[in-house]
Amino acid sequence: MMKGFRMVPRRQFLLLGAGAAVYAGPLEDRIRRIEALWKPASAMAESQTPAVSIAVIRKGAVEWARTYGVGVSAGTLFQAASISKPVTAMAALHMAQYGNFGLDENVNDKLTAWQVPDNLFTVSQKVTVRGILSHTAGLTVHGFPGYGENDAVPTVRQVLDGASPANTGPVRVDVVPGTAYRYSGGGYTVLQLLLTERFQRPFPELMQRIVLSRLGLHNSTFEQPLGEARAARTAVGFHNTGRSYTGGWHTYPEMAAAGLWTTPTDLSLFAIAVASAVMGESNKIIERDIAERMIIPHIGLHGLGFVGGQGWFRHGGANAGYRCELICRADASHGAVIMTNSDSGGRLIPPVLAAIAQESGWPNLP
């Protein structure tokens, strides 16, 4: 067990819906059975994970939320890591829906200050927004390690060219676009530039206007680096050795791919919004046919934002010091978001999900 580490469950509950009565009896019993299955105190100590935050979806609403650890609450921010991607995807699909660019249009037709370098792989097929969202654009760079407290932080264009002080290689096409699935955070960084150039707004402001504010995600931001007020409400990231990251966390200029700070409750509200659009119950940001494309696999695992299949959609995330998972039924009947603040926090996620699924009566997971 880490020196000075104590697991403290935060007993915070949410209402089942507007005007609903607090469902504290049987719900509390179910949560206790879930805890008995995944054993928070021993599991967190064994994996050197100081904090775990959970929200559970049931019948189209956030049924309950609880945190475990020192100094955390349901409003504590975690890095969502790659779960930033489907949130970004919703903004891009909203823009495409209103004619700002075509999903199958060559992104270079809209990019101005920087363009995807053409080569032998792009002779017949071009990089498109559809390809970027589904990880079939043929672009390189799987993910990003972020930048520590004392590191110089590159611009987006420096990231795309792999130019100093960027710590990753250049984002280039090395597979014919549209012919294969390969996960690419680099592709989402191209998309970030496209969105900001198209609307001449900083990416955090753009995402706030299009997605976060409209869905009422008041504990979420793409701000990188994080502002002082929100920084005071974060869960510090930890190495798998139990040592915290210098400065608390890394900064990610690759905001579209990895830059979202949020809570499990906010991510659950986002998932419910996606499901509502899929069911045709809400077109607040995207229409039903567009929402369906987010969760139906294109080539390989991903739709235009999520991994989908067997009636579920999901996405995981892994940044320096953070591991997380979002999973939801396409009708929002069941789901959960789990966020941790450790490089080894991923070890906790499968048993927590299994416990929630067992006690909440989920259908078989994909």
Over residues 104-143, the pLDDT tens digits come to 999 999 999 999 999 999 999 999 999 999 999 999 999 9
pLDDT attached to residue 365: 73
pLDDT attached to residue 148: 97
Which residues of the chain register pLDDT less than 70? 1-25, 366
Among residues 285, 55, 244, 67, the alpha carbon closest in space to that of 149 is found at 244
Q: Side chain identity at 227, as an amino acid letter?
A: G
Whether residue 36 is contained in a domain is answered as no
pTM: 0.92
If phi > 0 it is left, if psi is from -120 to 50 it is alpha, else beta; for residue 4 that is: left
Whether residue 22 is contained in a domain is answered as no
Report the C-alpha gap between 65 and 53 in whole angstroms.
8
Whether residue 30 is contained in a domain is answered as no
Range of the domain at 211: 78-360
DSSP string across 2-64? -TT----EE-----SSTTPPP--HHHHHHHHHHHHHH-HHHHHHHTT--EEEEEEEETTEEEE
Asked if residues 115 and 122 have their Cβ atoms less than 8 Å apart, the reply is no
CATH assignment of the domain containing 119: 3.40.710.10
pLDDT attached to residue 300: 86
H helices within the chain, ranges in order? 25-38, 40-46, 84-97, 129-133, 156-161, 185-199, 203-207, 228-231, 255-258, 264-278, 288-295, 349-360
Residues in the chain: 366
Whether residue 49 is contained in a domain is answered as no
**CA count, 13 A, side-chain hemisphere, 44:** 23
Residue 223 CA: distances (Å) to CA of 147, 230, 231, 260: 14, 10, 10, 7
Whether residue 261 is contained in a domain is answered as yes
Count structural domains, the chain: 1
3-state secondary structure of 176: coil
CA 325 to chain centre: 8
pLDDT attached to residue 9: 47
Report the C-alpha gap between 7 and 140 in whole angstroms.
41
Whether residue 40 is contained in a domain is answered as no
Whether residue 42 is contained in a domain is answered as no
What is the widest separation between alpha-carbon atoms in the chain?
A: 64
pLDDT attached to residue 8: 40
Report the C-alpha gap between 353 and 348 in whole angstroms.
9
Whether residue 8 is contained in a domain is answered as no
